[in-house]
Structure 1
Amino acid sequence: MPKDPARGDGPVVRHDRDDARYVRRGPESPAATPTATPVDEPRATAGTAGSPAVGTAAGAPPGGAVPAAKRAARRPGRAVPIALIAVAALLLLALAAFATTLIVVSQQAEGNPFRDRALFVDPDSNAARAAEGSGSDEQREAAARIAASPTAIWLTPERVLPGTASATVADTVAQAEAAGALPVFVVYGITDRDCGGFSSGGLPRDEYLDWVDEIADGLGDRRSIVVLEPDSLALASECPDPDARTALVRSALARFSGTGAAVYLDGGHSAWLPAAAMAESLRAAGVDEARGFATNVSNAQATDDEAAYAARVSEALGGAHAIIDTSRNGAGPPADGEWCNAPGLALGEEPHALDDRVVDAVLWVKPPGESDGTCNGGPPAGTWWPEQAVELVANADRLAGGS
């Protein structure tokens, strides 16, 4: 690992999928775990339609215990107008609250995009091909185990060439639609991707946005999930021009506005940036125009820690939603902070939707069994690594068995 100068209040370490660096910090102030409530149920707002104004019961005396008859005697002819004014005021409050409710509902019109939807299992994933390919029985069995679970489909310009992206994505979405399933894509081709790390690459700005346009065209108005540029925001301060990177993420996000995609921006993870700093970056990247943000992508932080972190980020943003990558966090993060192809990892919780105020779903965003890069004996980033797949499955089985 390069001996980079320390940043913030801890040593610089490297993030695993695309080798982004992060600071291991002490725990932030504790926050309550998000309450498990239906996500498409509008949140309570002050002054709900039909409720009296806060602090004043409808029809309560305005100044104390003076009997109504005496008040009428002191102010002859005013009791009826005052009552009418009070009724009108309550009606106006009710209308205002109803309008507020409509706004909340319109922002979450479709609710949790994962609810009651099966997730698409890519029949042509690296794991699926490995399960049918050469290798030992143990390697094929591990690959088949991983291939049976839905994982995100990574779109990179190296794999999905510019000029072919629209047709490639449209074909995948059509397969998912025919299967009655929801596809999850990761768009990963931003300019100066990974800022020179093991997953370096990407396209020049204009070519990148054209490529994203192709992806959006391929998605069309059919439902899908897009995780947009993991690490792009959390890593921005390590890149030559953080503001330009954030602006580029915002421009890419705008390309999906006319599609059926629910988009989640890069939300780092609980051991990287503080929640307030991550929220600030997300806001600058236009998260208010997205469904929310993704945490723990390609990392191994514990799910409970990520849920608490997501709740803090969401609160700072005024209610953005989140997804958590659980593909390799079954054993939690390595104690030594290993950043790339760390030994001892295990498959995490299977992908599924949640009934949670903040977290929409846990997903396998990082395809298990694919290398983080040429570190700890691994092949280039994104390449299928049979030995790692075997270890992930074996460790998950061991943990499940309690041994």
Structure 2
Amino acid sequence: MRILKTFAAVLAATIVLVPAAPAVAADPISLTSGFYVNPNSLPALWARNNSGDARAARIQASIGSKPIARWFGNDAAIATTVANYTGAADGQDKLPVLVAYNIPDRDICAGHSGGGAGSAGAYRTWISSFAAGIGSKPAVVIIEPDALNGMDCMTQAQKDERLAMLLYATQMFQQKAPNTYAYLDAGNSGWTNASTIAYRLNQAGIGNIRGFSVNVSNFYTTNESISYASSVNSYLGTTKPFVIDTSRNGNGHGDGWCNPAGRRLGVTAQTGGGAEMRLWVKTPGVSDGPCGTAPSVPAGTFDPGLAVRLIDGS
């Protein structure tokens, strides 16, 4: 009996000492059968609610029916919101694209898209909950557009705090969303130089996640964006996958970045084409701010006139 008790004790101790197996990361593209089309995107909602408008059918066919990233900001129930959204996509075996957009002092230097979490602590809680909301479901996440580029007017202390928050964000996606491809935003070819962005990407934890995004909410051609991303990679010290926002780059970069005239829709979401993915990150028809061809339309607001301009290239 003593021998049996001793054997049982050793066995129990052995079981306790065996660590739990870590979550196995998988490729979210291979786990799904195409990109998720959000039936409640801003252009889809506008077209549905304004069916009598002569522009509605064109906007729905050219924009509302396409896979577009959904942007998430300050939300006390962010874990539930994200879980519901990624769950809806998972239920259709589709890959959702999400944008985490809640960094404190957001757009501090330009000012059009201000806002964000009220403190670094609040942001850490929010981004941790965001990642937990995805969990093991397949997803693509763009982390904080413009956050690494829009730092030039900040004090060094503010820059350090922002980089620490982004580093924490990459750790949360690494730990809590193993089947997510997360990408830190690296701006575009006409903004911060590649060497500076590569340095900031390393500080912000690029090694913890899949890669980086370029051309978000901008208009540079795919070839220009590939060239810029390749230059960033040359300074990173390692080659990381990247994605390109092609939502409005059909005619390339025009005059300015804020609702410029003459721009056009780019190719819709797809894998490959010189990047890991080409995505519609910016929602076509959503204003960059009260400027350019939409001088009275606030940032983040869908405007059918802007949408039709992008369809027509006018």
Bucket of the pairwise TM-score, normalised by the shorter protein: 0.7 to 0.9
Question: Is the aligned partner of 1:367 residue 2:286?
Answer: no
Structure 1 unmatched ranges of 5 or more: 1-108, 397-403
**1:181 partner SS:** coil
What is the rounded CA distance, in whole Å, between the counterparts of 1:251 and 1:372 in structure 2? Answer: 28
Q: Which residue of 2 aligns with 1:137?
A: 54
1:393 to 307, 311, 314: 311
Q: Is the deviation greater in 205-214 or in 185-194?
A: 205-214
Write the letter of the residue equivalent to 1:303.
Answer: T
Question: Is the Cα–Cα contact under 8 Å of residues 143 and 389 in structure 1 kept in the other structure?
Answer: no
Query: Relative to structure 1, is the Cα distance of residues 167 and 183 closer, same or farther in structure 2, using a 3 angstrom cutoff?
Result: same
2:223 is the alignment partner of 1:304: yes
8 Å Cα contact 2:258-2:288 kept in structure 1: yes
Instruction: Specify which of 280, 286, 302 is matched with residue 199 of structure 2.
Output: 280
Aligned to 1:351: 269
1:401 match:
none
Aligned counterpart, 1:222: 137
Match of 2:302 among 376, 384, 389: 384
**1:139–1:387 CA distance, 2 compared to 1 (3 A):** farther
**1:84 corresponding residue in structure 2:** none
Structure 2 portions without partners, runs of 5+: 1-24
The corresponding residue for 1:170 is 83
- Give yes or no for contact 1:133–1:140 (8 Å, CA) kept in 2: no
1:267-303: per-residue Cα shift (whole Å, max 9, x none)? 1111112211111110111101110000000000111
Aligned to 2:15: none
Equivalent of residue 292 in structure 1, options 211, 219, 223: 211
Shift of 1:216: 1.3
Equivalent positions of 1:2-401 (< 5 A) are 110=26, 113-114=28-29, 117-134=33-50, 136-157=53-74, 161-162=75-76, 164-195=77-108, 197-203=111-117, 204-240=119-155, 241-257=158-174, 258-259=176-177, 260-317=179-236, 318-334=238-254, 336=255, 338-354=256-272, 356=274, 359-376=275-292, 377-395=295-313
Q: What's the Cα RMSD here? A: 1.8
1:92-150 superposed Cα distances (whole Å, 9 cap, x missing partner): xxxxxxxxxxxxxxxxx756x43574001001111111111226212442244201110
What amino acid does structure 2 have at the position aligned with 1:292?
Answer: G
For 1:361 and 1:339, the matched residues in 2 are separated by 23
Structure 1 segments of 4 or more deviating over 6 A?
A: none
Contact kept? 1:114, 1:361, Cα under 8 Å: no
The higher-RCO structure (CA 8 Å, 6+ apart) is 1
TM-score by length of 2: 0.85
Q: Which moved more, 1:135-144 or 1:123-132?
A: 135-144
SS in structure 1 opposite 2:44?
helix
Aligned partners of 1:131 and 1:144 also within 8 Å? no
Match of 1:61 in 2: none
Cα distance in 1 between the residues matched to 2:234 and 2:33: 27
Whether the aligned pair in 1 keeps the contact of 2:123 and 2:165 (CA below 8 Å) is no
Q: Is the 8 A contact 2:55 2:304 kept in 1?
A: no
Number of residue pairs the alignment of both structures matches:
280
- In structure 1, the partner of 2:17 is none
